[in-house]
Amino acid sequence: MSATIIDGKAFAATVREKVAHHVTRLKEENGITPGLAVVLVGEDPASEVYVRSKGKQTVEVGMKSVEHKLDSDTSEADLLKLIDDLNNDPSIHGILVQLPLPKHLNEDLVINSIDPAKDVDGFHISNVGLLGTGQKSMVPCTPLGCLMMLRDHHGSLSGKDAVVIGRSNIVGKPMAQLLLGDSCTVTIAHSRTKDLPDVVRRADIVVAAVGRPQMVPGDWIKPGATVIDVGINRIPKDDGKTRLVGDVDYESCAAVAGAITPVPGGVGPMTIACLLANTLTAACRANGLTEPEGLTA
């Protein structure tokens, strides 16, 4: 068996096209331009690249993009004041504080100071609780992207056996909640799960988000299963350089699976696309307008 490749890059482009279409409609019919504010504290190189990409894609779909770059020694009080200002700015519908933050800042305090309705990362404790109880919430971007790709590939997910490897608050736990919401039977597994290969082997859907390079080999995968690889890991090559790999061993898994996401080019591009979708959703909700179909859970 040779797995179908789920092309996240192409799917993300489709999502951005849909977002851009709805943004144009919002402007023409309602005079509303969705606004996204990104806050970066310090000079982490990876975060700077990511923030630049977010800003570029935000502008490309016709949204307002605002970036606040703060010094690494910015005080907690100053950061919270900025977030409060953004909470009260009607032109800003989405607020994202780029993680990780410098060690002197309390990430939980900062994230929970964002207005839950503008929390387009979906990390605020209120959104976590709403998602966990099946209510309308802002949904974390990476799990939302995974869900979109699974729905597109399978249609209905009802009744499927899903295993999520990884229990992080950012991916693993919300991913499990989203799959439950689509009527999957869900197991959250992790590095300490007993008989992990047997647990994974029974799944129709495997979402690998454990943060360990190539941890999942092909002989853990049920023939025909769908494998969503959330991992982004750098490993050394023979020439002294590095290459990106996921949490699954791609070659062996692709030989067994029915469908699989590659790394790079799978889940990664969907994260920013879903951030844009969340900002659009937040703008519609803030103005009492109907949300676009297919762009949230």
Active site residues per annotation: 54, 98, 121
Residues 6, 4: Cα–Cα separation, whole Å: 6
**160 touches 141 (CB < 8 A):** no
Residues 187, 170: Cα–Cα separation, whole Å: 17
Residues 92, 279: Cα–Cα separation, whole Å: 9
120, 125, 129, 135 alpha-carbon torsion, rounded to 10°: -30
**61 touches 19 (CB < 8 A):** yes
Angle between helices 172-181 and 125-132 (to 10 degrees): 30
Judged by phi (left if over 0) then psi (alpha if -120 to 50, else beta), residue 265 lies in left
Q: What are the strands, taking DSSP E only, across the chain?
A: 4-5, 35-41, 64-70, 94-97, 161-165, 185-189, 205-208, 226-229, 233-236, 242-245, 259-260
Residue from 228, 224, 57, 221 nearest 147 by CA: 228
